[in-house]
A = this chain, B = another copy of it.
Amino acid sequence: MKFEATTIKDIAKALGLSTSTISRALRDSYEISEETKKLVLECAEKLNYRPNPIALSLKERRSRSIGVIVCEIANNFFSQIINGIESVAYERGYNVIIAQSHESYEREIMDLQFLASRSVDGLLISVSTETNDINHLKSLHDRGLPIVFFDRTLEGLNTHSVIVDNFNGAYLATEHLIKNGYKNIAAITNSEFLSITNERLAGYKQALIDNNLPVKNSFIQHCFYGGMVFSEVEEAVNKLFTQKQKPDAIFATSDKLSSGCLKTLNRRGLSIPNDIALVGFSNTDIAELLKPSLTVIRQPAYEMGRAATDLLLQQIESKRPVKDFEKRVLLPELIIGDSSSPLKK
């Protein structure tokens, strides 16, 4: 707040008491008389006293704020996660300070410095596409900063993490296509650096194998920036169509990739699922609008945000460092377009 906010001193002056007495009364200390306590509380109310969190932070050496690093805020999946993070933080009286990496390792390091300089009590992070080492996180973590990974994790750091069951999500998606008669299923996926990519690709491959379908490398296209730049997706899709053997279905492994694929197919004049089928990870609410043509894997993003924040605050507020780190796995949901979806013969 601005201008002369009421402080504990003002109350002390008004009541002719010392600041320590006021402090005790407000903190409901046992060593205080009921009488003065009531007096102080009334006065505080009257003067509209609000404790100054900054002074408190300085004293307690904690800021009651947590940092969040995501690649992009303006992304349905991540904004839903942030919604979840914010809801838990708000409930527990914490601030959330958000920083974006824009999928850049360099920027992620800057974000980290910024958040550290803002004295966050803990960090929630979903690493950038370019990130493949933990050096920048390790030093902070070693100095005692609690960290929780969500969605995209990194090996080598002893922390909690919250992810979705990527293997199963991808398996379900691929299986869905197979069950509908598709046999040449391509995958448009993220950078190989990302944990989620490998987990999802593993699920995709396993589904093919379990159904006696071949795994073809030419059918697997990586988009390094995960669809953040549209041209990348367009190129990947185009590559699929310039091969001798063309896919009859595409599995896209993220929100941006799914919409990027749709956009590309749309531009090429291909209709779904008549010309080509598509199943993808998507948390865009409009996804449901493309029913019955589109089946999507929805990730429990809000829940992921809540779970990660809960784990982080638990760790922040526990006195001793946590010994047993938890890897919480949430279940994705297959939202099936419609039974009227035409069966490929």
Contacts and interface: CB of A to CB of B under 8 A. Distances in A.
A291 B266 contact: yes
Contacts of A288: 263
A18 to B, nearest CB: 21
A95 to B, nearest CB: 5
Contacts of A286: 259, 262, 284, 286-287
B53 A118 contact: yes
Instruction: State the copy count for this chain.
Output: 2
Chain A interface category by residue count: 35 or more
A187 to B, nearest CB: 20
Interface string A90-121: 10000111111000000000000010111100
Nearest to A57: B54
A52 B259 contact: no
Given A262-B289, A291-B266, A143 B1 contact: yes
Contacts of A97: 65, 95-97
A38 interface: no
Contacts of A144: 2-3
A82 interface: yes
A232 interface: no
A53 B119 contact: yes
5 contacts: A1-B116, A1-B117, A73-B82, A259-B285, A284-B286
Given A50-B116, A143-B2, A286-B284, A83 B73 contact: yes
Contacts of A291: 266
A54 B98 contact: no
